[in-house]
Amino acid sequence: MIRVKLKSWTASFRYPTFQSGYQPTLPVPPLSTIQGILSAARGEIVSFREVPFIGYVFISEGRGLDLERIYALGKPETDVIKREILFNNTLYLYLPDEWERYFRKPRFQLLLGRSSDIATVEEIKKIDLERRENVPVGGTIVPVSAGLPGIIHALPVEFDYSTIPRRAKLVRPFTILQFPRTIGQRRRQTYRGTLPYDPEIDIGVWIYESLHGEIQSK
């Protein structure tokens, strides 16, 4: 597999249940954001049916509030909302080898949320992940069945872009896990099974397969 390293100054991952007003950000991207990044890199809508496996780890150095001017439907005036943003972000994508050519020369801008959250490809490398038992997991979402403690939220896996507005094809409950930074966090987020492990980041990687069927880890 390959590991693609993306960097961005800002990121914002919208809570699907917040429609207006204050806009908090999820601490890590949902799978639908990953679908958007893959689609932008290839230049056409990508379905996870076409991707045999994928994993990701997201690391942010902090968060803050941004004031954003918006136009609401049916109102000639603009509104100003408060939006949470994440700073100095790194996203690692674990993908089959054939995706290297798309990230070497992405067709469209790679975004970590809004159109202003532009990401750049810093590194693409081939990597072999060793499978280990009892490794910490974080910077990602995992199925609730993993049994790890965290915020549980129903999140879109993939959108159908053939309709306006777009609609979610698949929504599943996931446990949201921030990247663990302390010994206590790493202990709490340790998966009591076997997972691929990335020694450079010192983290277990939750690999998704069969996203349109039974969600499994590899």
Taking the chain (218 residues) in runs of 10, the rounded mean pLDDT of each run is 97 78 90 95 92 96 89 76 93 97 97 94 96 96 93 89 80 94 95 95 92 50
pTM: 0.91
What is the predicted pLDDT for the residue at 218?
44
**Half-sphere exposure in the Cβ direction for 61 (13 Å, CA):** 8
> What residue spans of 43-190 are helical by DSSP H?
100-104, 183-188
